[in-house]
Amino acid sequence: MDLGLAGRGALITGAARGIGKAEADALAAEGVAVAINDIDEAAALETVEAYRRAGITAIACIGDVSDPADAARVVDAAAAGLGRLDILVNNAGAGWRHMGKLTEEMAVEDWDKIIDTHLRSSFLCTKFAIPHMRRAGFGRIVNTSSINYTGGGRSGVVNYTAAKAGIAGFTRNVAKEVGPHGITVNAIAPGYVETALTERFSDARRRIITGQNPVGRYCRLDEIGALVAYLCSNQAAFINGTLVPLDGGRNDFWWDGN
């Protein structure tokens, strides 16, 4: 199926590695020029270099997308550098260093870090991308929630759950605002994926995660990339304001260990 994406321009946040890079890979494979944002400059430049060597149009837009000034600069640099901004994938994520504490023990800084990196950055980049998309009369925004957004997961992640539930609500609501302008906004809710975010899991925890999954494994990076590419396509123009789970049918999960 031709997704009709060739020639479009996309900004993917937190795309130097992991899920963001897989999403950039999938979009680039459809002929999309990609702007790779990350706070990790060295890793982002390396990713962009690899794309260029493969003949893919790619630029780096370094910055902290949870910071309003950086987010505005990153979005504008992507639009200017690519000559257009059709697609925004809000993916940037912060790690376990800021999770794992029960609510009564959680530092306010850890609450803020997770909410800001995931939810605030999604608001900021969306806010700054909408004017570009409105001018073009076309836009696709994909936000990153998680299987954890229901709050049914393990304890010690109230900040992460709140951020991912916030992203689900934000997605539904902003979709209503921008739908009339040819812009769709959707969220994906992946189950566990092998990335830097999950590499610290113990073997026992991995066995529980895969054992509880009806499909019996983690989600694959290419499966996420394929879903995001589809949500950005012309064919997905009527999919708006929804959250798409990518979890093998495992809707809930309980684990208190590490």
Write out the residues near ligand NAD by the rule CB under 6 A.
13-14, 16-20, 37-40, 64-66, 91-95, 117-118, 121, 144, 146, 190, 192-193, 195-198
Q: What does each C-alpha distance from 231 to 35, 138, 153, 241 come to in angstroms?
A: 18, 13, 26, 11
Helix (H, G, I), strand (E, B) or coil at 54: coil
* Beta-bridge partner residues of 188: 144, 244
- Return d(Cα 88, Cα 11) in angstroms, integer: 5
Taking the least distance from each CB to ligand NAD, the nearer of 64 and 76 is 64
Run of H or E residues at 239: none
Taking the least distance from each CB to ligand NAD, the nearer of 55 and 257 is 257
> Other CB atoms closer than 10 Å to residue 26's CB: what's the count?
23
Minimum Å gap between C-beta 56 and ligand NAD is 19
Taking the least distance from each CB to ligand NAD, the nearer of 64 and 223 is 64
Helix (H, G, I), strand (E, B) or coil at 111: helix
CB 23 within 8 A of CB 224: yes
State the residue for tokens 């299987």: 147
Taking the least distance from each CB to ligand NAD, the nearer of 42 and 54 is 42
- Return d(Cα 44, Cα 191) in angstroms, integer: 25
Minimum Å gap between C-beta 181 and ligand NAD is 26
Between helices 18-29 and 221-231, what is the axis angle to 10°? 50
Taking the least distance from each CB to ligand NAD, the nearer of 136 and 226 is 226
Q: Which position among 51, 149, 160, 192 bears the catalytic label?
A: 160
Let me know if 160 is a catalytic residue: yes
Minimum Å gap between C-beta 142 and ligand NAD is 11
Minimum Å gap between C-beta 65 and ligand NAD is 4
Taking the least distance from each CB to ligand NAD, the nearer of 5 and 89 is 89
Minimum Å gap between C-beta 93 and ligand NAD is 2
Closest CA to 113 of 90, 91, 95: 95
Minimum Å gap between C-beta 64 and ligand NAD is 4
Closest CA to 117 of 176, 53, 37: 37
- Return d(Cα 152, Cα 117) in angstroms, integer: 22
Q: Just list the catalytic residues.
A: 160
